[in-house]
Structure 1
Amino acid sequence: MVWIIGCKGMLGSEVCRTLSEKNIDFTGTDSSVSILDYSALENFACGKDISFIVNCAAYTAVDKAESEVEKARALNADGPKNIARLAKKLACPLIHISTDYVFDGSASSPISENSPIKPIGAYGLTKAEGEKALVAETDDFYILRTAWLYGFDGKNFVYTMIRAMNSHESVKVVSDQRGTPTNCQTLSLVISKIIEDRMSKKHEVPNGIYHVTDEGETTWFDFTREIKKQALKAGILVNEGCVVNPCSTSEYPTPAKRPSYSVLDKSKIQKALGFKLPEWQESLGKFINSPLFDKKRIDIVE
């Protein structure tokens, strides 16, 4: 049985949906079983045949983390340490989700898994601490670093921008930060493939750190323009006249610094799994045109 921790979050919900579609037996927990309480985790696992753990729980409020460092550290470092300790005791593999924010954004070409970690904000710092704590507790792990994630079951950039473009004559979007938008479905499929391969014992993905996003790269500005194009075609964006304007990071200050370049090199995971990840534009279209797209999240609130 696969245990999904953080099963009600944006990614956790997608992982549950994917495992269900693949008829993989799973159970899920949310905040009712605190990852900060080792005994609670241990008690939940007691009597269950847990063969895999997937940790989707995290503190992801990047800007709030600057003023809530200890809260972020608890969920992003202390929690994963507890989960890894239990995974070691249960002798089962652990998949843990990390982030491009562990890097400082100074690269100019896709970043490999062995590139130096150098976070520039509290969120990235605590996620890096989580990676280190996990590795110290168990050898049987898969750390999947992802970026610019969006999905059906949560607030995200795609929903936000469609709602903004439907309600404003213009929007201003940062054009000097480069990365790769990633549909939760892509990451969820990678997670399920690692589990399937491991359980079948026909092909086992080696333990370690992997980068997983959709393919290609763009800026938030060009991502927004593509969102507009595809949302108009799908009929969910009705304000065709909304103008998307570029701006610099300095024009849109935030409490947390963002990496200016966070395109991740995915060659390692694609080689390990034996398949090619989809282009980000393709994944965006799949998201926008899916019956699972939550139109309530783009409703204009008066």
Structure 2
Amino acid sequence: MSAIPDLLLPGTRVDAPRRLGGRLRRPSATVVAVLLSAAFLVLLAVAALAPRWLTPHDPLEGDFLAVLQPPSVEHPFGTDRLGRDVLARTVHGARFSLAIGLGSTALAVGIGVLLGLLAGQRHRLANEGLSRVFDVISSFPGVLLAMLVVVFLGPGLANIAIAVGIAGIPKFGRVVRAQTQLVRRADYVTQAVIYGRSRWQVFVGHLLPNVLVAVPVTATVHVGSAILAASGLSFLGLGPQPPTPEWGVMLAESRDVLRVAWWPGVFPGVAITLTVVAFTVLGQALQRRFEGQSS
């Protein structure tokens, strides 16, 4: 009995599969969601930069002999009331929606970070004054504020990006202000001042890098919400005008035929939903990573 190898003992036969199972453990649902979201955003970027790789049809070319055709091999997403290919319009619409989302986010980040840094300093007047500015802007619902800005500036791609960006300034301003006040009280900042570092050296070397780490999390989520808000404004006729293949415009054009043809409105709506969900999932993943590093 003593000559039996250890590998044949009952204890080792149970432990080996456990170790093997640990190595072959399935990825969690969170990891799968992040990977799927990243893959979809890569596809969205391809649609925005090289739409001809995904569809050969012209998004503006109509065929009155193929009006409101259901999804088929030739037209996978069907055609709209003017005979235009819905897949081509959805793919080309990614360029406009991403431009609005990224442009408005860049505007909100640029102004919000600057104002947040000023509000987070030791100057009480600047802190209270900018806090009131954030409160006033936030008192308006984001879409309503964007509507007021668009009414003042006029409809268009650039104006709707500006409008949505202005509505997002308080979000970034408050995040940066809170982070600035937190970092400013940190021990390493106090030690840098004690060791004779100038204000500029402390700001560039310690304050700014540790403040800006929280911005990508908010910015990622904001891109999705900005695309959703811009699509809503375009649906109301305040964004790009027809025949621009923008997702909100496509939804507005499909209202009159939705009872007889669901595809002209459903596919751009699905594109908006998946885009918002993808950016939100990635933003939440970045937030968990940021919180893990902070702890």
With normalisation by structure 1, the TM-score equals 0.25
Q: Greater share of helix residues, 1 or 2?
A: 2
With normalisation by structure 2, the TM-score equals 0.25
Structure label with greater radius of gyration: 2
